[in-house]
Structure 1
Amino acid sequence: MNKESIINFENIYVSYELQPILEEINLKIKEGEHWTILGSNGSGKSTLIKLISNDLYPNTKYPHKKEIFGKARWSIFDLKKNLGIITNDLHNYFAMHGKFLTAYEVILSGYFSSVGVFSHQDFTQEQHEKALEVLEFLEISHMKDKKVHQMSTGQLRRCIIGRALIHKPKAFILDEPTVGLDIKSQDSFIKLIRKLSKKASIILVTHHIEEIFPEVSNVALIYNKRIYKQGLKKDILNSENLSEIFEIDIKLEEENNRYYIKSIN
């Protein structure tokens, strides 16, 4: 049985005015796979996320294929029902503009992709029950009525995930999900991502090696505006490749299916 394609990109170029940002992007991710897209700051990771989310479009000068879940065209609202996109920009927006929302309201707002819950929005009993289920899955039922401005970074990030989770998306894109978290919170959040990976495919976009959780099966390395290498984690994630894309001599080690940098020269 063939797995459904989540992302199918061929020969994609992205430019800002005349400045090339991504070049010759070829990437295929299938349902049920968990991927890490790894690269340094400025390598093109954020642009790739915007390409996937339809906030940016390919340069039509080059023949290309850009399909998400087998379709070339999506409304952004419909795409978000299938693909939960969790970025730090979204987190920061809620932290700034949604300060007085409760955890429950943040999650419920996902039904309308709004920042907040408003009187003209009608929610069914089923939707309310689903929001409560999501709180329980995320292990934050105890903070149902807690306001955003009272939350830790990790608590708000769980709520942002919950906002996407109500749609039961087929896949999640997580953009550096443990940034701003202390060691204990990082460990707790990685455990949550592993739990989430049982429900949907995870595409982890990061430059943090320690975020790569054991269930990740494939890795794509992005370097100098291109996909430098991609394939099975065991074949791609090694000292030589990381040294190349980060432009520094890295000694990578693996223990209990978790990777860490032993030394940098």
Structure 2
Amino acid sequence: MLTPTPYLELEAVEVWLGPRRVFDDLSLQLHLGEHTVILGPNGSGKSSLIKLLSRELYPVVRPGSRLRIFGSETVNLWQLRGRIGLVSQDLQAGYVGRVPAADVVLSGFFGSVGIGRSQQPTLPQRQRVAELMEQLGLADLVERPYAQLSDGQRRRLLLARALVHNPEVLVLDEPTNGLDLQAKHQLLAILRQLAQSGTTLLLVTHQIEAILPEISRAVLLNQGRVVNDGPAAALLQDAPLSALFDTPLKVCTANGYRQVVPA
């Protein structure tokens, strides 16, 4: 049996966000080919974990502490953007209303928000954008200003942006937040196809209903600590979730998805 390849290794990591310590002595490994959910209540450190992976946050340098991404402690951001795609609420809020939809996707090649005058997309890049917009049901929105799009359309645009480099890992920060039922189900269906086609998914959420059937591992995070880590089938149950969210919950399942109701 092959040893799984880690794309993120945290060892005894301490992280501060301004005056607040987010993580103290956090250790965690995430592996290629293992679809994982990071689940926890608001304020548990989920977004900070994503920012460690995207290099927006850095841990305190101290003996015995280590952060490796794809096996290296030294990360080239341009290379990293080609291997890890990100869909986040912060990114969605960063685009101004007049940006054409196609430029949102194109900007993924440059790691920018929109396309500046100095950036000259190539023909292959434009062809890749057209392919992704067709694949995600966005082909008729190429020239539509960002402000005129629904939240569901914006989320799919950001997904297309994250996929321009065909990344090995796709990080999804609360991907279904604010979406109506149709948009949510459309997005989840696309994410399932990506999971089944070989893209490693890292889903970061507090919403149980957003957890895809393909997710095999659950990391339960609370107050900057991993309180449980193991098979999703074992941890996405009444007792672990009730303890995580500090409220009595009952898990109901249908078609591989889960919902929670008050116990």
The TM-score with structure 2 as length reference comes to 0.93
1:40 shift after superposition: 0.2
1:58 shift after superposition: 1.3
Tell me, in whole angstroms, the C-alpha distance in 1 between the residues paired with 2:228 and 2:192.
24
Tell me, in whole angstroms, the C-alpha distance in 2 between the residues paired with 1:46 and 1:14.
12
Q: Which residue of 1 aligns with 2:186?
A: 188
Q: 17-26 vs 6-15, which deviates more?
A: 17-26
Tell me, in whole angstroms, the C-alpha distance in 2 between the residues paired with 1:18 and 1:184.
41
Tell me, in whole angstroms, the C-alpha distance in 2 between the residues paired with 1:23 and 1:62.
13
**Are residues 177 and 129 of structure 1, via their aligned partners in 2, closer, same or farther at CA, if it must alter by over 3 Å?**
same
CA contact (8 A) 2:33 2:198 kept: no
1:27 shift after superposition: 1.6
118, 121, 124: which one aligns with 1:120:
118
Deviating runs (4+, > 4 A) in structure 1? none
CA contact (8 A) 1:11 1:62 kept: no
* Structure 2 residues not aligned, in runs of 5+: none
Q: Which residue of 1 aligns with 2:225?
A: 226
Q: Which residue of 2 aligns with 1:254?
A: 253
CA contact (8 A) 1:12 1:62 kept: no
1:65 shift after superposition: 2.2
Q: CA RMSD in A?
A: 1.6
Q: Which residue of 1 aligns with 2:213?
A: 214
1:200 shift after superposition: 1.1
Tell me, in whole angstroms, the C-alpha distance in 2 between the residues paired with 1:54 and 1:100.
29
Tell me, in whole angstroms, the C-alpha distance in 2 between the residues paired with 1:48 and 1:128.
32
Match of 1:191, as an amino acid?
A
Tell me, in whole angstroms, the C-alpha distance in 1 between the residues paired with 2:262 and 2:7.
36
Identity %: 33
155, 158, 161: which one aligns with 1:160:
158
The count of aligned residue pairs is 261
1:31 shift after superposition: 1.0
Query: Helix, strand or coil for the counterpart of 1:50?
Result: helix
Equivalent positions of 1:70-81 (< 5 A) are 70-81=71-82
The TM-score with structure 1 as length reference comes to 0.93
1:126 shift after superposition: 1.4
1:3 shift after superposition: 3.6
* Structure 1 residues not aligned, in runs of 5+: none
Q: 158-167 vs 22-31, which deviates more?
A: 22-31
